[in-house]
Structure 1
């Protein structure tokens, strides 16, 4: 009986831990004038469903801008439901597309890039129903999500990764918001997350360049806002320095906000307030 009681306690402890791990994320708060569509399937690949959550205003007299948000997690973990801080975008009349993508356990590179491109194409193909302005698409992400936002935006009308989705017209985002994202995977191939995501191609220089945003910067690249802490222990600060320099070399409208002493995100409330202020000044200057 004693052993059974102890075993019951052990099992109960496991159950409590599992329940604690599965606590739901805080739902997104959105204005009364908005519609919400959760888990919209934007692509299907080999039995995997790519899903996004959409918050959009069909009552607006004119099509609205939209931000595509991409979560981080080293290409190996993370979920769209962890993202909920869209209040400033709603306040400024934006629709929101909160996107998930294939993690490395499902498929290695370039799968995640293909997915975010499909998410972008889905919005183009459904712009009328969502009442969004495809000339005012902003794409945003942090860490590996920043890398994917950069890739989706910098590719523009170049479509080598648009293998699962099609759009006959031109594709161009209005701006990119890159939060401490990876811009060049070549010097990071020993980093476990990057090596795993690159998979069998982790020594293939040409392939690595093809999935690195730095090598897609051109004179037609979208305006890009960059933020990075200069003491980031995960994504080197130099990744953003190099990206900023190349954007400037091509005369692309760009701003680089350094958070002094900043780590990998997790900025203070004051630093986040500064980030929001500078980001909105950047977007407003672009009429976005």
Structure 2
């Protein structure tokens, strides 16, 4: 198991093995607390299996709050297997964690990644008992393109039809969104002033790309019945401009939706300092507690 290797590395790197630091003591307990299921197939497309990793609590008997995470890479790159460090704070908080892989845009253009996200959630709803998931406490999160996918899961109505090709089942509700510098206006990054070649690649060969981009943009679906949304964004981000976060939360401020934008002064596209990350996770915990999670 990958988590076992990670824990052993932490332990072996500890100078005084007999006197573990609090963080190392916690790491040593992870394997006992969690059942780790790697590469769980949630759907097959064109002969290829789409997989997720599931870290589920096995030291409790009641269903647990669950974090569903999507990696970044402008929808055309990235891999779930590189995300363990982004998952560790949630494991330390005692949450179940699901790390979702999805189709990438060079071979599977838009809206494939969004479809995969909806299908992953439907699979988790169906397998909730297996993984000890509280389906009323599912929080979605991700970074960059993954932040967009997290928002899409909570904001795009099922009436748009993106989940119609998923295996049969019911769609769970999303209890909250933790968006790390995600794209909120897809049109802007495929043809606007902030055009990105990777983002444009996601729409390669798509008929009427601007119309589809609007359907995939979180900004299109700002309304009163959304779950709480917290965004983290550096005001010096040159990849996904800070304006994406600002514009979303200005729009949310006109609704009844609980929302918060955490601005990182001088922050770029992630890679925040340890002090900034500590502040961010403290804010996340407070935000979720206020939301009853």
TM-score normalized by the length of structure 2: 0.85
Worse-matched range after superposition: 65-74 or 210-219: 210-219
Instruction: Classify 1:36/1:156 alpha carbon distance in 2 versus 1 (closer, same or farther; 3 Å).
Output: farther
Q: CA deviation at 1:48?
A: 2.0
| 1:225 counterpart SS class | strand
- Which of these two proteins has the greater Rg computed from alpha carbons? 1
Corresponding residue of 2:60: 60
Corresponding residue of 2:224: 219
Instruction: Classify 1:148/1:60 alpha carbon distance in 2 versus 1 (closer, same or farther; 3 Å).
Output: same
> What whole-Å deviation, never above 9, does each CA across 1:2-55 have from its counterpart, x for those lacking one?
xxxxxxxxxxxxxxxxxxxxxxxx748634121011000011111121110011
**Counterpart-to-counterpart distance in 1, 2:156 and 2:172:** 9
**8 A contact 2:126–2:169 mirrored in 1:** no
Corresponding residue of 2:156: 155
1:229 paired to 2:234: yes
Count of aligned residue pairs for this structure pair: 263
1:193 paired to 2:194: no
**Counterpart-to-counterpart distance in 2, 1:234 and 1:185:** 13
**Counterpart-to-counterpart distance in 2, 1:37 and 1:139:** 19
| 1:107 counterpart SS class | coil
Q: Which runs of 5+ in 1 are unaligned?
A: 1-25
Counterpart pick for 2:256 among 251, 255, 263: 251
Q: Which runs of 5+ in 2 are unaligned?
A: 8-26
1:88 paired to 2:75: no
| 1:277 counterpart SS class | helix
Aligned-residue Cα RMSD (Å) equals 1.8
Matches within 5 A, 1:1-288: 27=6, 30-85=30-85, 86-155=87-156, 157-158=158-159, 160-166=161-167, 168-169=169-170, 171-189=172-190, 190-201=195-206, 204-288=209-293
Corresponding residue of 1:12: none
TM-score normalized by the length of structure 1: 0.86
Q: CA deviation at 1:89?
A: 1.7
